[in-house]
Amino acid sequence: MKTKNLFVPAVISGLLMVTQVMSGQMGPGGPGRGPGGPRGMHTGKVVTGAPYSASVTNTSVKTLSDGNVIQRTTTGTVARDAQGRTYSQETITGMFGQTGTKTVTFISDPVAGYVYTLNAETKTATRRALRVPAEGSSATEGYHNSARPASPNVVTAELGTQVVNGVNATGKTVTHTVPAGQMGNEKPIVATTETWYSPDLQVVVSSKRTDPREGTSTYALTDIKRTEPSSALFAVPSDYTVKDAPAFGGRR
């Protein structure tokens, strides 16, 4: 496998930001502005001893005032081995200003200490050092807890435990209300997120966010298999060229 320090195009740099989210570098799991794929798979730390693989679907639908509908769907496959290495292959539509669809593969390897973005068209793998959270950090931090002070405009309700997509999961809803007049709105704006989290796998298996400003976003893991995935998923193919990601602020 050849290793070169080469300039990485802006699109791949953007995709690396997604890789950081997936590897837990950019915050805990659970839905943000939409319950998207990466944030559902990872929870802010390396999870070992809980291998699995699954199909993932992330869909957003927004209806404009003239009745026009904008729909985007990301589909793919995710996996994690017993050592905590993760794999995700996603088919993305309309991301980073690109037209058509693009399939990108992400690998997070805490054993080797790197995260990779694989581009099948150019047979290149863009590599960045993996920053692992401090020892003792909670894998569920950010799902059950929040560092933000309590707000009267945010209401959380626990939904208990049930089987979701074949695994036991605990659910909750979070309702955010923007009071009338706060941002020029005539009436209150209410956005609701429902999330189902698997304590055994330490991943979000299903979530749905409804916001009148942004439409509806849904995320789901399906066909979940709790067996050790093939080790080949977590290795950069031998015919790929590895490129180091560009340094930001003098640091790599």
Q: For residue 183, tell me if it sits in a domain.
A: no
CB 90 within 8 A of CB 83: no
Q: For residue 119, tell me if it sits in a domain.
A: yes
Its domain, for residue 138, covers 3-148+216-244
- Alpha carbons within 13 A on the beta-carbon side of 90: 24
Q: For residue 228, tell me if it sits in a domain.
A: yes
Q: For residue 44, tell me if it sits in a domain.
A: yes
Q: What is the pLDDT along the chain (252 residues), one digit of tens a residue?
A: 544 443 333 344 344 334 333 333 333 333 333 333 344 444 457 999 999 999 999 999 999 999 999 888 889 999 999 999 999 998 876 555 556 777 889 999 999 999 999 998 899 999 999 876 655 444 444 444 445 677 889 999 999 999 999 999 999 999 999 999 999 999 999 999 999 999 999 999 999 999 999 999 999 999 999 999 999 999 999 999 999 988 655 554
Strand partners, 63: 69
Distance CA 1, CA 45 (A): 29
Q: How many domains are contained in the chain?
A: 1
* Residues in contact with 176: Cβ distance below 8 Å, sequence separation at least 6, in sequence order: 153, 154, 190, 191, 192, 193
Q: For residue 239, tell me if it sits in a domain.
A: yes
CB 194 within 8 A of CB 171: yes
Q: For residue 107, tell me if it sits in a domain.
A: yes
Q: For residue 125, tell me if it sits in a domain.
A: yes
Give residue for tokens 């929870």: 43
> Sign (positive/negative) of CA torsion 241, 112, 17, 36?
positive
The terminus-to-terminus CA distance of the chain in angstroms comes to 21
* CATH at residue 68: 2.50.20
Q: pTM for the whole thing?
A: 0.74
CB 78 within 8 A of CB 54: yes
Distance CA 33, CA 86 (A): 23
Q: For residue 173, tell me if it sits in a domain.
A: no
- Per-residue DSSP letter, 187: S
Distance CA 185, CA 179 (A): 8
